[in-house]
């Protein structure tokens, strides 16, 4: 462990995982935390709820397809949805820089309100702080959510060779959009963040009787981080068909130009699903109602346990590792 915090420690990749494991898990060790799910599943008598918290700091705070307000609600509500829970109650903590525009704050809060309505959730408590100018970059938002479990048993620790792995849409749009906005890159395309609330999609999967093993939204660290976490947590090998990974031309072009890997780019409305093989067709039919690019990308094997392998169309293989190094700071 290094002596000081680096930006790479917040990227959702290898350095971030080490920081969490060596510092926070070591200090706060308990059975619930060690399951490393998107949200904690808590039992109260015969009832179960899901609980999650997240903090949001993104630059710029307004970008194509979303803003930090929408992002803050989607982020926490999506974590609850990934555990089969309907978002119900949220708390909101906002830290503002002195001099921040009231007009911008109102716009951000309107975005939050709209996304709460989509999820059927309400804000029940909050906190506001103001920091002296120059000590904070505009605004930081924390949201904590509680949800009602509708589908029990979802866990990234339970994936087996009976499962197949699907991605809900084309990947990397959020990370590519943020980078383009930050660097002032003007694109002749419709590239925008994929930021959206995922509970309506998950609810339709549940109502459709799809047998779900695990769900995970591919935020910081992207799809590569999700698949590596799953491989380690379930002690499995995940073999990915490289050509099946859905990447838009806009994101592909950005990656080619700047040397990014689409699988490592952040998403805010894209999730991975591990479901039973016999429900693959049913799940894809439902997912394609929301996005036509939903597709199966991987199978589960035991060939190289706790590893993710990319199989190319040329018959070659390589490991898809957890992203490392400084990716895109202030992405979500």
Q: Is-above-0.85 flag for pTM?
A: yes
**DSSP labels for 86-152?**
EEEEEEEEEEEETT--HHHHHHHHHHHHHHHHHHT-EEEEEEEEEE-TTSSSSEEEEEEEEEEESST
Per residue of the chain (332 residues), what is the pLDDT tens digit?
A: 678 998 888 877 889 889 999 999 999 999 999 999 999 999 988 889 999 999 999 999 999 999 999 999 999 999 999 999 999 999 999 999 999 999 999 999 999 999 999 999 999 999 999 999 999 999 999 999 999 999 999 999 999 999 999 999 999 999 999 988 887 777 667 899 999 999 999 999 999 999 999 999 999 999 999 999 999 999 999 999 999 999 999 999 989 988 889 999 999 999 999 999 999 999 999 999 999 999 999 999 999 999 999 999 899 999 999 988 766 655 67
HSE, side-chain direction, 13 A CA sphere, residue 264 = 18
| Alpha-carbon separation of residue 197 from 93, 124, 250 (angstroms) | 20, 19, 23
All domains of the chain in start order, with CATH: 7-149 (3.30.1330.10), 163-319 (3.90.650.10)
User: Do you know the residue count of the chain?
Assistant: 332
Structure confidence at residue 1 (pLDDT): 66
* Rounded Cα distance, 250 and 145, in Å: 33
User: What three-state secondary structure class fits 29?
Assistant: coil
């Amino acid at each position: 462990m290094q002596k000081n915090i680096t930006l790479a420690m917040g990227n959702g990749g290898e350095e971030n995982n080490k920081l969490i494991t060596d510092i926070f898990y070591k200090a706060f060790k308990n059975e619930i935390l060690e399951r490393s799910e998107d949200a904690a599943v808590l039992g109260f008598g015969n009832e179960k709820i899901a609980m999650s918290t997240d903090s949001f700091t993104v630059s710029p705070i307004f970008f194509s397809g979303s803003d930090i307000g929408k992002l803050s609600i989607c982020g926490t509500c999506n974590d609850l949805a990934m555990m089969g829970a309907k978002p119900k109650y949220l708390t909101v903590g906002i830290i503002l820089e002195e001099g921040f525009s009231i007009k911008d704050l109102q716009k951000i809060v309107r975005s939050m309100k709209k996304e709460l309505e989509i999820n059927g959730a309400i804000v029940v408590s909050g906190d506001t702080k103001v920091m002296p100018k120059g000590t904070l970059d505009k605004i930081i938002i924390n949201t904590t959510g509680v949800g009602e479990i509708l589908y029990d048993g979802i866990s990234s620790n339970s994936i087996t060779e009976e499962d197949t792995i699907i991605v809900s849409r084309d990947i990397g749009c959020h990370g590519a959009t943020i980078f383009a906005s930050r660097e002032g890159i003007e694109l002749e395309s419709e590239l925008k963040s994929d930021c959206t609330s995922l509970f309506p999609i998950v609810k339709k999967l549940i109502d459709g009787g799809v047998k779900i093993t695990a769900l995970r939204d591919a935020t910081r660290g992207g799809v590569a981080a999700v698949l590596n976490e799953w491989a380690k947590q379930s002690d499995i090998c995940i073999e990915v068909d490289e050509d099946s990974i859905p990447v838009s031309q806009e994101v592909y072009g950005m990656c080619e130009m700047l040397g990014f890997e689409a699988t490592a780019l952040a998403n805010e409305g894209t999730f991975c699903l591990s479901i039973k093989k016999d429900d693959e067709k049913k799940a894809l039919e439902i997912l394609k109602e929301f996005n036509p690019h939903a597709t199966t990308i991987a199978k589960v094997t035991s060939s190289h346990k706790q590893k993710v392998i990319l199989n190319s169309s040329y018959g070659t293989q390589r490991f898809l590792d957890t992203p490392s190094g400084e990716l895109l700071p202030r992405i979500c």
